[in-house]
Structure 1
Amino acid sequence: MAKLKDGFQGECAIVLPGSVVQQMETDPFCRNLHVTDIGYYPNAKYHFRERKEPISQYILIYCTRGSGWYQLGGGQKWLVGSDQLFVLPADKPHAYGADPRDPWTIYWVHFKGDMAATFAEGFSRPFSIPCGDDSRISTRLEIFEEIYRTLKNGYSSDNLNYSAAALYYFLGTIKYLGKYRESHETQKSEHDIVETAVHFMRENLGKKLTLADIAQHVNYSPSHFSAVFSKRTGYAPVNYFNQLKIQQACTYLDFTDMKISQICPKLGIDDPYYFSRLFTKHMGMSPSDYKKYKKG
């Protein structure tokens, strides 16, 4: 079977130079916690990595779609599914890879520092982060992407310091998951079914949700839910979900230099040509024309 370390369509990755990492290791602000490598691999078929010689970084892998596995040394092999993450400890041999039939989509980051072990503690086994009314998954991924974008803009002191501060927040949303969710908890005693459904859609923009998936989340039959949702919004649920995907695509086009091949996996779309047709249908222009369109 083929095995790949990287080279996946739509991937994003940054490996910080050794000299920059050494600079952060002695910097009063960054030495407690800092990034050494960061990236995103969508639908990473044949992804495989084995390190017989251990490295000094901790590695967090956050699976948002598909499935995979990992193993420490010659120990137990753990299976990882959608909405699960794990942290590989520093200084230990390991291996990990994507499931060949249902390859994972992963956000990953290598991190070091005096506080790294504290944030890694308790995550050696697969840790689930299921979607809920106050899960804030999309916010967590926005923080990850902000770290990536900051480092992509270079390794100035301000960029390194800000990425370190953002890494604290990102890892804190996992380490203190309950508090992260409680801080955004709604004050309503009962959630509105449509608001709950839209929140579920936003939390899962990178997936291919069906009407049945959304209806199941709000405990309605598909037909009843569709009727209620359409009456309230004027749109069928799946059409509304596609609108949210295109809205997010516009954000990527407006504020990043991501290519279509990189945007599509983040929206759960495998075919760039289908994405272009869907975008044109909703926006009245192609993605490339939208990118050129003067706004504001």
Structure 2
Amino acid sequence: MQQDRQTDISYEGGQVVAFPKKILSKCSRLPLIQRLYINRMGIFPHAVNHYYKREAGQVSYAVLLYCFDGEGWIILGKKKFILKAGDAYIIPPFSAHSYGAADKSPWSIFWVHIAGSGAGEIADAVKITQKDAPIHTVYSEERNNLFNQMLKTLSNGFSVANLLYANLILPNYLGSFICPASFNSFSTTSPIEENILNEAVLFMKKNVEQKITVEVVAKHIGMSPSFFFKQFKKHTGYSPVAYFNFLKIQKAIQLIHTTQYNISEVGSKIGIDDPYYFSRLFKKQMGISPRQYINEFILPSRTYQ
């Protein structure tokens, strides 16, 4: 009988953004990004016991792993590569591979799964400028800002505008690895002042484990509920309730990946005590149930000994 609990895997502080299947289908039809778009992405700091193994033909996306601390390894075919801080590697689609964190100093990684008709060309592009080995990079605040822009944008919802913005950053981020010598290391990111709707989103995120209403959020930011509802939907594409539920499910995904809670406990941690409602809400957003998500993305990592 399969267990809901992760017994030995925990990445405290980890973040994951996972796309519902209907959103991935939308990305595949958007002309500007259909050749390259993000499938999933995240950060795993100090990823003790992190491990994945995929058979040939199992996945159609490329996998970018960027180690920013510690050490890990990748096996691709008959070759094994060691990744240390500053190293990155792009695994081609459909290839048999495995990777994992070192035992003594487990890696911390930024990772992106990249889908689209051009995903198979990424690794080929790397070979034009790099030998068949990990890409070594120097620390770049600009590179990290690009990643964080993508992650933050997608964490705020899957509107068409967010999908386009994040995925149009993706080629620039990939370029920082494909041609690292040509990548400018200075940061051009300027601070953005938070407005009143940013404050509403921040309030939702801070209270994602609670049961809060539109009226509560509106009162917090000093708006009438009706005006707040109209303004929020206008600027985000979501109703406040739908957006709050989106935040809850994305938080649930992070808990599933980075903690040792079972499915029922995860629901309680995001303020949903009814496991059946949690499962329905999860499936409505992600296209699959929590159990199916675990079977596809979590259980493969438990085969590591």
* TM-score between both structures, scaled by the size of structure 2: 0.55
SS at match of 2:93: coil
Preserved contact between residue 11 and residue 39 of structure 1 (Cα < 8 Å) = yes
- 1:161 matched to which residue of 2? 164
CA pair 92-158 structure 1, distance change in 2 beyond 3 A: same
Could you say what secondary structure the match of 1:110 adopts? strand
Where structure 1 has 5 or more consecutive residues not aligned to the other structure, the ranges are: 132-136, 185-198, 200-250, 260-296
1:125-164 equivalences under 5 Å are 125-131=133-139, 137-164=140-167
Q: In 2, distance between residues paired with 1:159 and 1:46?
A: 33
Q: Residue 70 of structure 2 corresponds to which residue in structure 1? A: 66
Residue of structure 1 equivalent to 2:40: 37
User: What is the 5 A alignment of 1:1-296?
Assistant: 7-52=10-55, 54-73=58-77, 75-121=78-124, 122=126, 125-131=133-139, 137-181=140-184
Change (3 A) 1:64 1:258: farther
What is the letter of the counterpart of residue 31 of structure 1? Answer: Q
Instruction: Report the 3-state secondary structure (helix = DSSP H, G, I; strand = E; otherwise coil) of the residue aligned with 2:183.
Output: helix
Equivalent residues of 1:57, 1:90 under 8 A apart: yes
Measured against aligned partners, the alpha-carbon deviations of 1:120-175 in whole angstroms (never above 9, x if no partner) come to 323652111034xxxxx111111101101111111111011111111111112222
Partner in structure 2 of residue 210 of structure 1:
none
Find the residue that maps to 2:11 and give its secondary structure: coil
Tell me if structure 2 keeps the 8 A contact 1:4–1:48: no
1:168–1:4: structure 2 CA closer, same or farther, 3 Å change rule?
farther
Change (3 A) 1:143 1:166: same
Distance in structure 2 (CA, Å) of the matches to 1:10 and 1:86: 23
Where 1:26 maps in the other structure, the secondary structure is: coil
How many Å apart are 1:176 and its aligned residue?
Answer: 2.3
**1:76 is matched by which residue type in structure 2?**
K
RMSD, aligned CA: 2.8
Paired with 1:39 and 1:55, the residues of 2 have a C-alpha distance of 18
Separation in 1, partners of 2:20, 2:39:
8
CA contact (8 A) 2:35 2:119 kept: yes
Please tell me whether the aligned partners of residues 119 and 172 of structure 1 are also in contact (alpha carbons under 8 angstroms). no
The alignment's TM-score, normalised by the length of structure 1, stands at 0.56
**Greater relative contact order: 1 or 2 (C-alpha under 8 angstroms, separation 6 or more)?**
2
Q: CA deviation at 1:4?
A: 8.1
How many pairs were matched up? 183
Query: 1:67-99, CA deviations, whole angstroms, 9 ceiling, x for partnerless residues?
Result: 0001124x1221111110001110112110000
Q: Give 1:6 shift.
A: 5.8
The CA deviation at 1:5 is 9.4
Distance 2:172 2:206 in 1: 24
1:183-238 deviation digits (Å, cap 9, x = unpaired): 85xxxxxxxxxxxxxx9xxxxxxxxxxxxxxxxxxxxxxxxxxxxxxxxxxxxxxx
Of stretches 31-40 and 113-122 in structure 1, the one that deviates more from structure 2 is: 113-122
Secondary structure in 2 aligned to 1:30?
coil
Residue 19 of structure 1, CA deviation: 1.3
TM-fit CA distance, 1:30: 1.6
Q: Quick one: which amino acid aligns to residue 8 of structure 1?
A: Y
TM-aligned CA distance change 1:258 to 1:6, over 3 Å: farther
